[in-house]
Homo-oligomer: A and B are copies of this chain.
Amino acid sequence: MTPVSPGSVPAVPAAPAVAVSPAAANLPTLRGHNAALVLDLLRAAGEAGASRSELAEGTGLTPQAVSKITARLRDAGLVAQAGHRPSTGGKPRTLWRLVRDARHAVGLHLDRDEVTAVLVDLLGGVVAAHRAPFDLGAPCRAVVDAAAGAVRALPAGPGRGGRPLGVGVACPGPLDHRTGVLRRVTGFPHWDGHPLRDSLSRRLGLPVVLDKDTNAAALGLALRGGEGGGDASFAYLHLGTGLGAGLVLDGVLYRGRRTGAGEFGHQVVQLDGPECGCGDRGCLEALCLAAVARGDAAGAARVLGTGAAGLAGLLDVDRVVLGGRTVLADPEPYRAGVERELAARAARTDGRAVPVSVAPGGTRLVARGAAHLVLAPLFGRLEPGTRPEDLG
């Protein structure tokens, strides 16, 4: 809605005022929706580009409508022609592609002990990165300073991109994405109630979007070309200090009303089992971390796989993606163990086994995903934020 006005008031994306459940649509909405569809197809096509008729086929728009839309996007500098396809007996198709550096976004991953900042272009490619030690347990003021410093350490975006569209911030939950306020971050109770999004937005003079690290990672995976990118629904399971999940359902990041969705680690898999830090007994996380602690990756994977199988049944996901420090340190036993449990479940229900993969992107996965919190709305893949209709 509110256009990002460079160099003026820090334009925080308008939180949806009243929950006008599904919003009314008018002509600008329509235009923005279709433009986002076209942009999203071009994003998926990447450097290869796509032709007018392919875009028409993929969106359902008429070729003429695609022509008008691409012309507008060209005038806005977001797309450009990129050669032609070989002729098939007639005039060859003109290819269009996204202009990588037309816009940029910053992704910021605040982890417990380090901060990662990346500058990404429209295609999600990392243009610059910065990593530094960090202490999420320090006083809020110092942490906000350090976070802002990490963003400022990135070079100013080159070319027309200049000023980034905004900053996506990912950090451990619980937190409220809609208000941008942290809750009682596990281990660091002093964050409870701190409006991190607004603090950072004021400090940087840029729009800021806040979300959980697992959600950012899942969003990044949903927008990738490769594995996980083509799946309408998948679960990203993150095993590190704790055990959490990011859910993409029917192509949309699912957060739940209070950004609480994805609390995967505190499902009970062993009634009256060993006590967990949360106060319950027999939680997935407790069993899994205990196995990790005694070096039993296979055992941890079995427990993780049991939880994954339950989740796969409950949500009928197309894929399970594993990530987090513990998994990335030695992925194969986890992948194989979870795969075995999912295959066993498939055999019982005689359905196809849900495929498992290890998250690509390494230690930058979350930071890149955080940048997508800002970029995704351009492509109609996330509700609030900058839409194509704001860019003309």
Contacts and interface: CB of A to CB of B under 8 A. Distances in A.
A280 interface: yes
A25 B30 contact: yes
Nearest to A380: B22
Nearest to A317: B256
A2 to B, nearest CB: 15
A59 B317 CA distance: 33
Given A249-B249, A280-B345, A306-B271, A260 B24 contact: no
A310 B266 contact: yes
A316 B351 contact: no
Q: What are the nearest 8 A-B pairs in CB distance? A: A256-B316, A267-B310, A260-B316, A263-B313, A24-B60, A261-B316, A279-B348, A24-B61
Given A59-B20, A59-B24, A269-B271, A314 B264 contact: yes
Interface string A301-341: 00100100111011111100000000000000000000000
Given A256-B233, A261-B316, A350-B184, A268 B34 contact: no
Contacts of A344: 280
A37 B58 contact: no
B24 A315 contact: no
Contact of A23 (B60, B273, B316): B60
A257 interface: yes
A185 B60 CA distance: 36
B24 A245 contact: no
A270 interface: yes
B30 A318 contact: no
6 contacts: A22-B251, A26-B30, A245-B314, A260-B316, A263-B316, A264-B313
Given A58-B20, A59-B24, A280-B348, A267 B314 contact: yes
Contacts of A278: 348-349
Nearest to A61: B24
Interface in A175-206: 184
A351 to B, nearest CB: 7
Contacts of A267: 267, 310, 313-314
Given A20-B60, A249-B249, A250-B254, A316 B233 contact: no
B315 A256 contact: yes
A263 B317 CA distance: 12
Copies in the complex: 2
Interface string A4-47: 00000000000000001111111101100110010010000000
Interface of A: 20-27, 29-30, 33-34, 37, 40, 58-61, 65, 174, 184, 232-233, 245, 247, 249-252, 254-264, 266-271, 273, 278-280, 282, 287, 303, 306, 309-311, 313-318, 344-345, 347-351, 380
Contacts of A318: 257
Nearest to A270: B271
A306 B232 contact: no
A251 B21 contact: yes
Given A34-B25, A60-B20, A306-B271, A262 B314 contact: yes
A306 B283 CA distance: 11
B60 A263 contact: no
Nearest to A60: B24
A186 to B, nearest CB: 10
A348 B33 CA distance: 42
A33 B299 CA distance: 51
Contacts of A280: 344-345, 348
A11 to B, nearest CB: 21
Nearest to A256: B316
A267 to B, nearest CB: 4
